[in-house]
Amino acid sequence: MAFWGAPVPSERHAIDACAAALRSQRLLASQRAAAEHCGGTPLRVRVGINTGRMLVGNIGSSERLNYTVIGDPVNIASRLEALGKIYGVDIIIGEQTRIAAGDAIIVRRLDRVAVYGRIGGIAIYELLGMAEDPGAEIPGWVATYEAGLAAYEDRSWSEAVRLFETTAASRGCLDRPSELLIDRCRACLADPPPVDWVAISVQESK
């Protein structure tokens, strides 16, 4: 676990956290390439990033003291990391991090979920890059996916399937979020939910 904004306050805490996560993934990609070349073990790490007010300081006892952070935003970050396995992405950030980082980051809105231990849904995002990186731009398939997500939330499930399939084809590779949403849309078409249905995915485990 790592945290920003303490002990020295920083207005860039969300941006710096995102930049660090992306840098770590780039270094891991280099490690995997080297491992494949020499027969070593390639490593993968999922990252969850969340932003909020939390308790920070020396926590514990005189026998075991640790300068750390605790609180609900910390717990949500842990849940976001676990969601990376379900959605097949390396870095997931929460809604508050998306707001705090603003235009400094490039993201894809993945879904709206109720993480384990919480009732209300939050928007989650895949972190794709930093806007300040050379040649950085929003991939065209992001708009297609997010249009599919909007159609799914609007109960236009056939249109959503088409858009998610277009996203996967545009990427030219397996896109796990599109697969997940296609399955959900087809389930809704086969057995339409009630009129008060809300497009929130409930995660029942950590």
pLDDT tens digits along 83-127:
999 999 999 999 999 999 999 999 999 999 998 766 678 999 999
* Rounded alpha-carbon distances, angstroms, from residue 38 to 44, 51, 80, 113, 130: 17, 39, 33, 41, 31
Would you identify the CATH topology of the domain 1-136? Alpha-Beta Plaits (3.30.70)
The C-alpha atoms of residue 33 and residue 40 are separated, in whole angstroms, by 10
Structure tokens at 184: 């959900």
pTM of the model: 0.93
Q: According to CATH, where is 3.30.70.1230 located in the chain? A: 1-136
Q: What is the pLDDT of residues 171-200, one digit of tens each?
A: 988 899 999 999 999 999 999 999 999 999
Mean pLDDT to the nearest integer, 37-42:
89
pLDDT at residue 117, rounded to an integer? 65
User: What average pLDDT score do residues 68-81 get?
Assistant: 94
Predicted local distance difference test score (pLDDT) of residue 27: 95
Residue whose C-alpha is closest to residue 85's, from 46, 112, 49: 46
Quick one: what percent of the chain has pLDDT higher than 90? 84
Give the residue-averaged pLDDT of 57-78.
Answer: 92
Distance CA 21, CA 73 (A): 17
Pick from 13, 73, 82, 75: which is nearest to 45 by CA?
A: 82
| Percentage of the chain modeled with pLDDT above 70 | 97
Rounded to an integer, what is the distance from CA 124 to the centroid of its chain? 5
Rounded mean pLDDT, 118-138: 91
**CA gap 108, 14 in Å, rounded:** 17
**Average pLDDT of the segment spanning 35-52:** 93
Q: What is the pLDDT of residue 36?
A: 87
